[in-house]
């Protein structure tokens, strides 16, 4: 079996991604996991772009994600129930969406990210 380059680093990052997606799936538990993962990707892209002062249009988001527009529109249908707000043709995340997220959930996710960073520092020190 071939050795995977930077195996430890890849495994640490995979665990982080897995934990973030599992945590995020709880917010969209009514969706199958793969669809929830797509929705999480869409919401985070919209949130980042909005906070960078460059909110997306539907077409812009479709291009950014490399997602067919028809697929994106199906996912956005699920998000238009108060999660995503349309404003002058641009999408924004409804701030009320974050209200149900408990402080404890945020602390746990933050701690997991900090622990992951510490773990990566130890691995990267041996490179």
In tens, the pLDDT along 86-101 reads 888 889 998 887 776 7
User: Between 121 and 97, where is the model more confident?
Assistant: 121
Residue 44 in domain: yes
**Owning domain of residue 42:** 33-112
Residue 61 in domain: yes
In tens, the pLDDT along 65-75 reads 999 999 999 88
Dist. CA 73–CA 68, nearest whole Å: 9
Residues 6+ apart with CB under 8 A from 127: 6
Residue 27 in domain: no
Of the listed ranges 24-28, 53-57, 63-67, 89-93, the one predicted with least confidence: 24-28
Q: How far apart are the first and last CA of the chain?
A: 22
Decide if 112 contacts 17 (C-beta within 8 A). no
Average pLDDT over residues 15-43: 87
Average pLDDT over residues 104-115: 88
Residue 123 confidence class, pLDDT cut points 50, 70, 90:
confident
Residue 1 in domain: no
> Residue 21 pLDDT more than 70?
yes
Query: What's the pLDDT score for residue 66?
Result: 95
Query: What's the pLDDT score for residue 22?
Result: 85
Dist. CA 37–CA 7, nearest whole Å: 24
Residue 104 in domain: yes
> Residue 2 pLDDT more than 60?
yes
Dist. CA 19–CA 35, nearest whole Å: 16
What CATH number does the domain containing 53 carry? 1.10.10.10
Based on C-alpha coordinates, what's the Rg of the chain?
Answer: 17
Q: What SS3 state is found at 85?
A: strand
Residue 60 in domain: yes
> Residue 125 pLDDT more than 70?
no
């Amino acid at each position: 079996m071939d050795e995977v380059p930077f195996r430890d680093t890849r495994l640490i990052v995979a665990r982080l991604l897995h934990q973030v997606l599992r945590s995020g799936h709880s917010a969209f538990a009514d969706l199958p996991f793969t669809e929830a993962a797509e929705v999480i990707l869409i919401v985070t892209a919209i949130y980042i772009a909005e906070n960078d002062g460059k909110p997306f249009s539907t077409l812009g988001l479709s291009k950014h994600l490399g997602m067919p527009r028809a697929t994106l529109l199906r996912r956005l249908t699920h998000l238009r129930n108060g999660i995503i707000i349309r404003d002058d043709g641009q999408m924004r995340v409804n701030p009320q969406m974050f209200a149900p997220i408990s402080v404890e959930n945020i602390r746990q996710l933050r701690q997991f990210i900090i622990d992951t960073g510490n773990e990566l520092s130890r691995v990267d020190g041996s490179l």
